Amino acid sequence: MPALAKRLDEFQVSASVVMTIKGRELAAKGVKVISLASGEPDFPTPLHAIEAAYRAAREGDTKYPPQDGTRALKEAVQRKFKRDNDLDYALDEIMVTNGGKQSIFNALMATCDPGDEVVIPAPYWISYADMAKVAGARPVPVNCPQNNGFKLRPEDLDAAITPCTKWVMLNFPNNPTGAACSRAEMQALAEVLLHHPHVWVMTDDMYEHLVYDGFEFCTIAEVEPRLRDRTLTVNGASKTYAMTGWRVGFCGGPRPLIKGMVNMQGQATSGVSTVGQAAAAAALDGPQDLVRERAEEYRKRRDLVVEMLNAAPGVNCHKPEGAFYVFPNIAGCLGKTSTGGRRIETDTDFALALLEEKHVAAVQGAAYGMSPYIRISYATDTTSLREACARIQEFCKGLA
């Protein structure tokens, strides 16, 4: 058989996908698995977005889309950036992508050369580092410790930037920790970046509307306009509007960068589904009350999960400002043996034993660049969350 590309040797299937698959395999055998591994809203797509897609299909909007997005959606994105972020982007400074993930991939592929470095605060979404590698760059993780709320410290950012740095990637609210930066904290990071004019700045704002307890979201190009001409602001419909399967992301940035990204997308996937774009435009321009209502439901779930996890022996769970994840420290569980006989030496051991013995799927922190932690998604119903956390408590109590 002909050989596969050597670049595949550097990558593995996402740990969250692996744990989700393992959970499904157990469920197929009749085991009642509660999956807290997937970062996917359990709410339905808003009805007016679905109706917009249906109407677009019925009216014949089913041909090849423009490579950078339909005018209708780009104008909706333009209004969204102005309304929510006080950012003014011209239409040729905006592009639509197959999910927010492709915005990130396009940007890295359009800018990175071998030897470049991409600074990534850790813990980080699994795909950031792998996408940097695909683009030929070297990921440079920067530790964001729990005692700083899992937030990036300006002095650590400054120390990580070198003449080889091409990008600094920001993701607050963060996957996997839920940490979010205040305006003052974001300004402090911006002050560092102003001293490094050779560096592009990418901000993944996918969880911007999922913030709690009166926390006010901000994005770096809004906080520091002097960074606007080298900042890519990435967002999408998936988390805010429960539209993960529609695959519609978007971004705003400087015209030359967007032009290069459109060119890259043209070689990979071309444009985004026209009916999906119609749905996303309706979601962005439609009533936003549902977004706030769902955020309040997520807050209640967060509070439940944090309280119950902190009652589990050996677990310490920080209460985050946003997203729908918690990232509990399980250091107090290491060096012990589960009731099923598995020695718990790492967070991977913990996650596997938890799935096999208590049938709760979570993802090991090692996959996100920080141990010993696990990532738990609370984007599921309250009854399931309560049962899952009770099982985690039982699992931890059984460690000896």
Please give the full DSSP string across 198-226, using - where no structure is assigned: T-EEEEE-TTTT-B-TT-----HHHH-GG
* CA contacts within 13 A on the Cβ side of 101: 16
Domain boundary pick from 269, 285, 301: 285
Residues 116 and 228 in one domain: yes
Residue 113 tokens read as: 């050369």
231 is a domain residue? yes
Closest CA to 304 of 240, 203, 227, 388: 388
222 and 154, same structural domain?
A: yes
Q: Is residue 54 located within the same domain as residue 198? A: yes
200 with 169, same domain: the answer is yes
Q: What tens digit of pLDDT does each residue of 239-253 get?
A: 999 999 999 999 999
Q: In the structure encoding, which two tokens stand for residue 273, read together?
A: 């589904």
- Classified as helix, coil or strand, 50 is helix
Instruction: Give the CB-side neighbour count of residue 156, counting CA atoms within 13 A.
Output: 15
Q: How high is the pLDDT of residue 69?
A: 98
Give the domain-ending residue among 285, 301, 329. 285
Flag whether 143 is in a domain.
yes
* Strand 231-236, strand 200-204: pairing: parallel
CA separation for the pair 279, 55 (Å, rounded): 9
- Please check whether residue 321 lies inside any domain of the structure: yes
In single-letter form, the type of residue at position 220 comes to I
Q: What is the pLDDT of residue 251?
A: 98
374 sits in which H/E element: strand 374-377
If asked whether residues 34 and 121 sit together in one domain, one would say no
Determine contact, residues 392/355, Cβ cutoff 8 Å. Answer: no
Residues 138 and 208 placed together within one structural domain of the fold: yes
Distance CA 323, CA 125 (A): 12
Is 1 within a domain? no
* 233 in the same domain as 112: yes
Is the pTM for the entire model greater than 0.85?
Answer: yes
Residue 136 resides in a domain: yes
- Three-state DSSP at 231 gives strand
Find the CATH number of the domain harbouring 335: 3.90.1150.10
Same domain, 107 and 156: yes
Whether residues 338 and 206 share a domain: the answer is no
Give the number of other Cβ atoms within 10 Å of residue 315's Cβ: 22
| Domain hosting residue 10, numbered range | 6-44+290-397
Quote the pLDDT of residue 31. 81
User: Which residues make Cβ contacts (< 8 Å) with residue 273, sequence separation at least 6?
Assistant: 65, 246, 247, 248
Whether residues 314 and 249 fall in one domain: no
Q: Is the separation of the CB atoms in 352 and 379 below 8 Å?
A: no
Question: Could you say which residues of the chain have pLDDT below 50?
Answer: none
55: tokens are 């109407």
The DSSP bridge pattern shows strands 94-97 and 363-364 to be unpaired
* Domain annotation covers residue 382: yes
Helix axes of 100-111 and 255-268: crossing angle, nearest 10 degrees: 110
Alpha carbon distances (Å) from 367 to 22, 120, 143, 267, 346: 16, 14, 14, 30, 12
Helix (H, G, I), strand (E, B) or coil at 166: strand
User: 302 and 173: one domain?
Assistant: no
Q: Which of 285, 312, 338 is the last residue of a domain?
A: 285
165 SS3 class: strand
214: in domain: yes
Same domain, 34 and 76: no
Q: What is the DSSP letter of 152?
A: -
Structural domain tally of the chain? 2
